[in-house]
Chain A
């Protein structure tokens, strides 16, 4: 029995099933958490909820007050507290504002918001697959639709082809909607689906060549979390490809394909959105917003174990608050270089930006560019937890129609991706729950995680639009 023979396998039914699944899990989480000390709900959700409570209930005097210079507008006092009163809240205040109904409406309000974002994401994935990606993939691998085609120029299709596209779009969007990692993370109260919505909306606007909207949404995405800024690089080439004819582009040098009136406008719109949001938040919440949302992440030292092999190095060289009085051996230039933040930053950003420039040349390749950029950003980051995987898994359903690999190779990729995590998790369990000294072997497994994920990425790059 195939998916196509299932009588009710439509996107509408997949969406309804996904919604019911999420509602069921949220209701279960309330039942479970009321009866068990081991909570279904993620720790982060408690952080968001506490921050939302702080933001809506300022304290007396200087206690829990928004610290920005703008406390009111034309005589109207905002009366905000500070979400940063909550330790470990390191996000935009807009997230805490979004979740203020957790206190006065229902504690699970935020989970329903995150689940709704999941469903919207599934719909966006479906629409992009149906209207842009699958039609493009049905051309030969070397072909690409002409620039400037945009949305709306659709040939009239025969019903069989239309049905086939809808079926494929439904299957691929179900990969996201019914992915256990996706629905468990949102129903546990992680906010990743909100950022995913902004990223997918940016991509949707780009695919429809609404570049002003894409700029606004990219600015919003980057305000929410910094990493989407790398997508801007790949969008520059695509803007040029869709805004100028091939004759005009042939006369442009490489620099001009990246810097021209259209891309400058896009950059201004995107940067202005980011600055406006940041300035507004700073005006109300002041330096704590700036520090916790952005500056903290520049200087953070993640010494606790995580998938990235950098954790052990960070732990071993973590600066002490009371340095030893023993003689300090000066570092060699080699040590200085290795320990420099640039040693991790340059490979990560070099690849994230470089692959954006390399692959961001046509609208058809935009999903591939973003996928590769996100994977390298995550794999080469100095810290990596399971939630980071969502950043690129989000784009995988959109990429699948353009991948040509054997079932054996595909299976190998899945096994390697999962096995490197399993290898690391089995050792991390010994450290965290059994108290065994496995730092060195955990570090080795972190290296294996990096190598394994790079191997998977290379296979995907080779399989992308490969000749069948």
Chain B
């Protein structure tokens, strides 16, 4: 069977804390066979600034199954990027979480298959900036897509070296000559813009927070004392009148 596989990924939106990686996978099989079943495997390699909520992905069970999630920050969903654990032996600090998902395709697929992976953005490490509104632009690649079919696939790329996690995750029954691989084109890399805190604000924030909190503390304490005195005064009047 001759097959062609191509992929195109976009980030929607390319700003905000909760974008989605939308991957359209174009598959063309010739000739088609109604008995043929195909499965897509997508491997995402996210930078530390981005993460997935595995429990959120479980809710998309009707669309795809998450086979594996691992890497820096897999469990630390609530930390900023500069507070992620650094494990000994981590050579590549640019890689955060890796995700592998599986999606079964209907027989005789001709329409593009769309896979949506919701991701979330951590708070980035604050910087000192004179512009007062610093941002970071994080670039990353779309997923590596692997197509496997029950019939042998020909004429498709299977020379690309697959990420180890993907190799470990794809069931052995799917491997071999029935694999096709597609990668996002390098000039179509994804990018997200994320705001950063400005350490130049720190003295103002320290002073302002402390001043307002202490002032409000004093104000509420004073008014509480007055209210207490009024209530006690009222009680004393009643005792005297009795």
A residues in contact (CB < 8 Å) with B:
37, 39, 46-47, 50, 87-88, 141-144, 246, 303-304, 309-310, 312-313, 315-322, 335, 338-339, 343-344, 347, 350-351, 354-355, 358-359, 361-362, 365, 372, 376, 379-380, 431-440, 443-444, 447, 450-451, 454, 457-458, 461-462, 464-465
Contact = CB atoms under 8 A, between A and B. Distances in A.
A320 B195 CA distance: 18
A316 B238 CA distance: 54
A320 B217 CA distance: 31
8 contacts: A88-B78, A312-B197, A313-B205, A318-B83, A320-B82, A335-B206, A447-B209, A454-B216
Interface in B92-138: 121, 123, 125-126, 132-135
Contacts of A47: 55
Contact of B126 (A316, A339, A450): A316
Nearest to A50: B55
A143 B236 CA distance: 9
Given A304-B78, A447-B209, A380 B223 contact: no
A335 B196 CA distance: 22
Contacts of B219: 454, 458
A310 B75 contact: no
Interface stretch (B141-149, B165-173, B224-232): B224-232
A319 B83 contact: yes
Interface in B4-41: 13, 15-18
A354 to B, nearest CB: 7
B61 to A, nearest CB: 12
A143 B238 contact: yes
Contacts of A143: 234, 238
Contact of B16 (A310, A318, A432): A432
B213 interface: yes
Given A440-B132, A454-B216, A358 B225 contact: yes
A362 B205 contact: no
A106 B85 CA distance: 38
B214 interface: yes
Contact of B206 (A338, A435, A451, A461): A338
Given A351-B217, A359-B227, A440-B132, A339 B206 contact: yes
A142 B227 contact: no
B83, B206, B209, B228: which has the most chain A beta carbons within 10 Å? B209
A304 B123 contact: yes
Given A304-B123, A321-B82, A87 B77 contact: yes
Contact of B202 (A310, A316, A320): A316
Interface in B174-226: 192-199, 201-202, 205-210, 212-214, 216-217, 219-221, 223-226
B55 A46 contact: yes
B155 to A, nearest CB: 37
A142 B234 contact: yes
Interface size class of B (residues with CB under 8 A): 35 or more
Given A315-B197, A358-B225, A437-B195, A450 B206 contact: no
Contacts of B13: 435
Given A313-B209, A316-B205, A451-B216, A351 B237 contact: no
Given A87-B77, A319-B83, A447 B212 contact: yes
A464 B135 CA distance: 49
Contacts of A39: 59
B195 A439 contact: yes
A458 B134 CA distance: 39
B86 interface: yes
Nearest to B217: A347
A377 B122 CA distance: 28
Nearest to A47: B55
Q: Of A335, A431, A461, which is in contact with the most chain B CB atoms at under 10 Å from its CB? A: A461
Contacts of B55: 46-47, 50
Given A355-B224, A439-B195, A312 B205 contact: yes
B223 A461 contact: yes
Contacts of B212: 309, 447, 450-451
Given A316-B202, A319-B83, A435 B231 contact: no
A344 B201 contact: no
B84 interface: yes
A51 B214 CA distance: 40
Contact of B17 (A358, A432, A437, A443): A432
Nearest to A466: B230
A435 B18 CA distance: 9
A434 B206 CA distance: 27
Contact of A350 (B83, B216, B217): B217
Contacts of A50: 55
B223 A344 contact: no
9 closest Cβ contacts across the A-B interface? A142-B234, A435-B15, A437-B195, A347-B217, A358-B228, A437-B133, A461-B227, A320-B82, A435-B16
Contacts of B226: 461
Contacts of B213: 309, 343-344, 347, 380, 450
A461 B17 contact: no
Nearest to A339: B206
A246 B235 CA distance: 12
